[in-house]
Structure 1
Amino acid sequence: MFSPRGPSLRELTVQALSSVERGYDLLAPKFDHTPFRTPDGIIEATAEALAERGPFDAGLDVCCGTGAGLTVLRAVCQGPITGVDFSAGMLAEAGNQHPGATLVRADVRALPFEPSFDLAVSFGALGHFLPEERPALFEGVHRALKPGGLFAFAIGEPPPMTSIAHWVLLGFDGVMRVRNAVWRPPFVMYYRTTPLPALRKDLTAAGFAVEIEALETMGRRGDGTPRCWLVLARRAA
């Protein structure tokens, strides 16, 4: 649908009517040829920003998917890198792209790690968690980091109400809510449930000290607002 190598409309429909786990198992072989993959510009900008704070030792990619975040970890970590996801299909693709990484299949709302990582990253995953599920996710990441460890992720600035993008995202979330009200199993994917103030609140409650900075290489909108932010949440030393 998006490109000759991407999924067809029929394949996307089957995915959308599946559970999140089954849907991503089906989509995994063609995921990198869809707009759902985090753009390379964000990956590169995040790696550049984190390189200024590194080097790090062991790294963890939370909800690693096909491994975009593992690319960042490989660039800034001197030690082993690990990806965790609950989709076996996505992990298989990540393994093909990052044969040296350790890959773990797990529900990230109950991460199975002790404090062993210096850096954790995540890309494009927060919309798959309802607001009431974020505390468990953030507490698990906090638990997986060594004292002084850093959790970093990029998040886009919401488009202004006057833009077409605002209404497209609003419509998408509305369709997903209707779908989940009438169809089981649910497919949790929302674009408007992760405002920065709520994320900061949940991260702080999980024990992180939070900084938020603009990813300047992603540019600014006409009103001067950064297009993308980098959230930096640090576990106390």
Structure 2
Amino acid sequence: MRELAVQALSSVERGYDLLAPKFDHTPFRTPDVVLDATAAALRPLGPFGQALDVCCGTGASMRILRPLCQGRITGVDFSAGMLAQAGRAHPDAEWVQADVRALPFADGFDLAVSFGALGHFLPAERPALFAGVHRALRPGGLFAFPIGAPPPIASGMYWALLGFDLAMRVRNAVWRPPFVMYYGTCPLHAVRDDLTAAGFAVTTVPLTALGLREDGSPRCRLVLARRT
């Protein structure tokens, strides 16, 4: 708890640098079940050539990208600590430190993925992020990422996430540097609009392996944004 408190009172970059050595043993790492469901949805659309993991962290997605891709796999993140862990675990991939709101790539990738990172960007920052991914992809390239359905308002999870977001807003109002991490700022309809504005053709597929809500709708969808 002490370590998490120190990380939460740091910047996003510094916080992840501190968390990096233990990140793969925390609940913050993308669960394997989410990675496997994503791989199953992408497999019929491949094989792909070169791939980019946006906000790659410690490189958890390498396990599913290797079988899907025939070319180079690159991870990009702005935390040097996370990239150091990724490089040790996956020395055969390429790791680039950069701010993903200004990605340093152009027309080089057939597939881009991202897992659990959208909450680190304010809504006003998403257009730059998506424009950079669009620029990094070759024409016809695919940007894929899972996005969860909002929990029902009567559920405990809804109020827990709302409470977390409110606590983060208070923290960022009174403490510097800010730590941007919100769960309620990236609903599917807003993300779809931003992707479309960036030049993507957007569809979604349900990740039914991750379960259904009480109304029968999927708990999670895979967004498929193709550079047109």
Whole-Å Cα distance in 2 between the matches of residues 10 and 141 of structure 1? 36
**Residue 217 of structure 1: how far off its partner (Å):** 1.2
SS at match of 1:220: coil
Two-structure CA RMSD over aligned residues (Å):
0.7
Q: Name 2:190's counterpart in structure 1.
A: 198
Q: Deviations over 1:8-51 (max 9, x none)?
A: x0000000000000000000011111111111101001011111
Matching residue of 1:26: 18
Question: Does 62-71 or 169-178 show the bigger shift?
Answer: 62-71
Query: Which residue does 2:32 correspond to in 1?
Result: 40
**What CA distance in whole angstroms lies between the structure 2 residues aligned with 1:135 and 1:71?**
29
Q: After superposition, what is the alpha-carbon deviation per residue over 1:53-94, rounded to whole angstroms, capped at 9, x for unaligned?
A: 000000000000011222222120010100000000000111
Partner of 1:129: 121
Residue 90 (structure 1) aligns with: 82
Separation of aligned partners in 2, 1:53 and 1:220 = 24
How far is 1:219 from its partner?
1.5
Question: What amino acid is aligned across from residue 129 of structure 1 in structure 2?
Answer: F
TM-score by length of 1: 0.95
Equivalent AA in structure 1 for residue 54 of structure 2: V
* AA aligned opposite 2:91: P
- 1:147 corresponds to: 139
2:160 corresponds in structure 1 to 168
- Equivalent positions of 1:60-139 (< 5 A) are 60-139=52-131
Shift of 1:218: 1.0
Deviates most, 70-79 or 38-47: 70-79
Alignment gaps of 5+ in structure 1: 1-8
For 2:226, what is the secondary structure of its paired residue? Answer: strand
SS in 1 for 2:61: helix
Alpha-carbon shift at residue 105 of structure 1 (Å)? 0.1
Provide Cα deviations, 1:197-222, integer angstroms capped at 9, x if missing partner. Answer: 00000000000000011111112122
The whole-number CA distance in structure 2 between the counterparts of 1:96 and 1:221 is 39
The residue type equivalent to 1:223 in the other structure is D
Report runs of 4+ in structure 1 exceeding 4 Å deviation. Answer: none
Counterpart of 1:90, as a letter, is M
TM-superposed CA distance for 1:152, in Å, is 0.1
- Amino acid corresponding to residue 216 of structure 2 in structure 1: G
In structure 1, how many angstroms separate the alpha carbons of the residues matched to 2:213 and 2:167?
A: 27
Unaligned runs of 5+ in 2: none
What SS class does the counterpart of residue 224 from structure 2 fall into?
Answer: strand
Partner of 1:179: 171
Aligned residues: 228
> How far does residue 178 in structure 1 lie from its aligned partner after superposition?
0.1
Q: Percent identity?
A: 74
TM-score (norm. length: structure 2): 0.99
- Describe the SS at the equivalent of 1:153: strand
Write the letter of the residue equivalent to 1:24. Y
Structure 2 partner of 1:4: none
Any idea what the Cα deviations from partners look like across 1:163-215, whole Å, max 9, x if unmatched?
Answer: 00000000000000000000000000000000000000000000000001111
